[in-house]
Amino acid sequence: MPTPQDDERRQLWLIPSEGRARTEPVADVALLTPTYDLASYAIPPELAAQVAPGMLVHAPFGRKARPVLGWCVAVSRRPWRQTRPALASLAGSGALLSPGLIALGLWISDYYAAFPGKTLSAMTPAGLRQVAQRRVRYLRRVADPAAADGGEAGAAAEPQHLTPAQSRLLLALADGELPRAEVLRRAQVGEGTLATLRRRGLVETVTRFEAHAVEHGAPARSTEGTAAPGGEEAKPDAGGVGTASPTAPEDGLALTAGQEEALKAVSAALSPPRFEVFVLFGVPGSGKTEVYVRAVRQALAGGRQAIVLVPEIALATQVMQRLARRFGSVAVVHSRLRERERRETWRRIASGEAAVVIGTRAAVFAPCPRLGLIVVDEEQERSYKNMAAPHYHARDVAIKRGQIEQAPVLIGSASPALETWHNAAHLPHYRLLHLPERVPGARAPQARLVLMGQGDRVQPSRLLSLDLVRALQQTLELRQQAVLLHNRRGYAAHLRCGRCGLVPSCVRCGAALVFHRTERLLKCHRCGGRTPAPERCLDDTCGGVLEKGGLAIQRLEEELRAVLPGARLLRLDSDTMRHRDDYAAALTRFERGDADILLGTQMIAKGLDFPNVRLVGVVDADAGLELPDFRAAEHTFQLLLQVVGRAGRREGEALALIQCRDVSHVIRCAMKADYRAFAESELALRARLGYPPLGRLARFVLSDERNTRAREAAERLAEQLQQLAGRVHPEIRVVSVGACLLPRLRGRFRHEVLVAAPPGGVLQRLLHEAQREKLLFSRAQRITVDVDPVEMR
């Protein structure tokens, strides 16, 4: 049975229309709950002057009208007749999201089938929205005190028989409601006076949930997340945007004809600013970064800001150093910033103090009030895809933001994603800009293949060929440097029993455990689990000795020390780079010449430029081709092309040695840096399969602690989606249903449903229908929706 308190609370948050059209303002709110729909709330008179789009608010939700946090995305005065709930309170002061960012967030929610409230929250630093909440009791004077005292309704006279203390309390409430403690302090009265007035019906209590104010847009202190020339905070100009230094040392660099042509095309879209996507396609060493820098300079000269996206934190460091030498204030955004640094950086950007924003994928949401240009470097990188909900791709979000805010988008790569290459040839707002040659003084390295495992060739070690060892020795004799890529962390990819063949696997997710010799641990690279490394088989009935298989980068380091005892080695992987500053420090050491050989995983292949590198070696070039992923060939080609490009970026001869077990078309194209030949053959294959970019994919992953329930839920969803597909488009098909490549992760069994659709908006229509049928949310199993997936694990 509802209590009187329930009735009272319900009356406070329900505003009846009484059958008449009302015009009080209405707020559309994206609640931070698992819902795809926006909710509409009437705005109470006391909040009407404060509520604005982009603010966090508390709104009643559910049968018990409990306050839930949400984002106000729109305020309107459209007529309404039905009974409406009212907003409860504000959660902070000021708007955190601009209209452009709100529109972007709602597009992400629609395109990637994500909950809008949680999407908008993902666009802002947690420290700006996770504010301490408190319950505040307000007092307000009853609207008609004369009636409450027995007089005529609507009478203007004050109630009779009031004590001086009671009169002071009512006077304090003459201008509207106030917090209870504030009223008692102003009137200088006690609890007894208040209790008497409440019994007489002259004063009522209203409870609100509030948050401490969040100051947004105020000038912020410099933090470790910001940088400027000389390590000091640079001063902005009068407009709030940092200006370029007139003494930048690189200004005298002569551009190639290709660079001049590309910069001319981008400049035309900067003044006046208009939306256009420029695909800067150039071989490694062709000077794409110089085009970025000069385009940013022109955007700033027009009084605007620029966002530069990079795939890795290490690249943010190198690009930041170049831009900081040119411009005034540079803000850096990445996942390793402390929460305080995130807040301060956000405020510097929102106030216009930071001229240039550099960062990883989250920087695409930087709150630039005068956005003039977005640059996406190495746009093909998988790290631009967010692997947690919302599963957005930062490159595509950058393009959509440019369209919303009418800003040009410049995306660059030596090996563009096939989606980008296809779009550049078929979409009217795309334009391909080609840099066909390296900058003066830079020569392409000579590339050679070395076949491993040939019976007539003697190898000095398991991972190093004789050719690679000799090339390393020559490099060291010339006092030059080398880079070696081996894209496997740990010492061995797995341990295997030599007697029964058992491979130790993770008890939480089932993945093969990787042996790390330094720590004598078996680690799971999927869920983070770890256990001491055993000497013998885990099967007590066997007792065989565990042997190392799939040798990884720690084993490569060990073999290098044995073959080249005098070489100074520097290993770069996520096991050696444990702190956020380790990466930049390691790169500085190598550039300074403190190490002869840099060996690492894929993180060393991306965008780094070391002038003294004359040799690049790839230890196991075709390992990536073995993955059961339709993008495996594309990813392998891109990685090889990138790492080979690390050599020969300055004067002098350079060599790239590619070790592999089989000579495939992919490896041959990468050796020749022939992207067009690779793209032509791969696109033809994708067309036959109906895979991106000649089709669309959506991946639904269902997980449960019990394998049977996860499998049955996936099969049930596949059947329901196929039925919906018949109503939406005849060419939509369920491609596969079954266990994921990683069948178990963090203690949960995983099964997937893969759906293919024709290009265009057909897939979105299917997702909308699935949302309406409530197929994409389950309290029994976790359902992950990944639109345009880049990895199938």
Reported as a single tens digit per residue, the pLDDT across 661-672 is 888 899 999 988
The pLDDT value recorded for residue 226 is 34
Domain ranges of the chain: 4-132, 136-211, 226-435, 446-489+552-685, 696-787
Which listed CATH number (3.90.79.10, 3.90.550.10, 3.40.50.300, 1.10.10.10) goes with 446-489+552-685?
3.40.50.300
Task: Using pLDDT thresholds of 50, 70 and 90, give the confidence band for residue 765.
Answer: very high
Task: Using pLDDT thresholds of 50, 70 and 90, give the confidence band for residue 580.
Answer: low
The pLDDT value recorded for residue 244 is 41
The pLDDT value recorded for residue 406 is 97
Percent of the chain scoring above 70 in pLDDT? 81
Name the architecture of domain 696-787: 2-Layer Sandwich (3.30)
Task: State how far Cα 235 lies from the chain centre.
Answer: 29
- Give the SS3 label for residue 560: helix
In the structure encoding, which two tokens stand for residue 485, read together?
Answer: 């890529």
Mean pLDDT of the chain: 82
pLDDT above 90: residue 109: yes
pLDDT above 80: residue 70: yes
Residues with Cβ < 8 Å from 469, sequence gap 6 or more?
A: 460, 563, 564
CATH of domain 4-132: 3.40.1440.60
Q: What pTM was computed for the model?
A: 0.78
Q: What is the pLDDT of residues 368-383, one digit of tens each?
A: 999 999 999 999 999 9
Cα angle: 621, vertex 625, 630; to 5 degrees: 145
- Give the SS3 label for residue 33: coil
pLDDT above 60: residue 243: no
CATH of domain 226-435: 3.40.50.300
Question: Is it true that 226-435 and 446-489+552-685 share their CATH fold?
Answer: yes
Question: Strand runs (DSSP E) across 498-609, as ranges?
Answer: 514-516, 521-523, 530-532, 546-551, 569-572, 597-600
Query: CA 353 → CA 141, 234, 338, 345, 784, distances in Å?
Result: 45, 9, 20, 10, 39
Task: Using pLDDT thresholds of 50, 70 and 90, give the confidence band for residue 458.
Answer: low
What's the order of all strands across the beta sheet hosting 530-532? 530-532, 521-523, 514-516, 492-497, 546-551
Q: What is the pLDDT of residues 163-212, one digit of tens each?
A: 999 999 999 998 888 888 889 988 999 899 999 999 988 998 887 766 54
pLDDT above 80: residue 241: no
The answer to whether residues 56 and 20 touch, using CB atoms and an 8 Å cutoff, is: no
Question: Strand runs (DSSP E) across 96-211, as ranges?
Answer: 133-141, 178-179, 203-211
Determine the Cα–Cα distance for residues 353 and 335; give it in Å rounded to an integer: 21
In the structure encoding, which two tokens stand for residue 410, read together?
Answer: 């410049």
Peptide bond into 272 cis (omega under 30): yes
Task: Using pLDDT thresholds of 50, 70 and 90, give the confidence band for residue 519.
Answer: confident
Q: What is the pLDDT of residues 324-366, one digit of tens each?
A: 677 768 898 877 778 888 888 998 999 999 999 999 999 999 9
Place of tokens 């992207």: 675
Alpha helices in 406-538 (DSSP H): 418-426, 466-477
In the structure encoding, which two tokens stand for residue 127, read together?
Answer: 């420290």
The pLDDT value recorded for residue 228 is 32
Task: State how far Cα 98 lies from the chain centre.
Answer: 19
Question: Strand runs (DSSP E) across 556-610, as ranges?
Answer: 569-572, 597-600
Q: Which residue from 304, 419, 380 is spatially nearest to 692, judged by alpha carbons?
A: 419
Determine the Cα–Cα distance for residues 217 and 219; give it in Å rounded to an integer: 7
pLDDT above 90: residue 249: no
Mean pLDDT of 30-35: 94
Task: State how far Cα 672 lies from the chain centre.
Answer: 33
Q: What is the pLDDT of residues 381-409, one digit of tens each?
A: 999 999 999 999 999 999 999 999 999 99
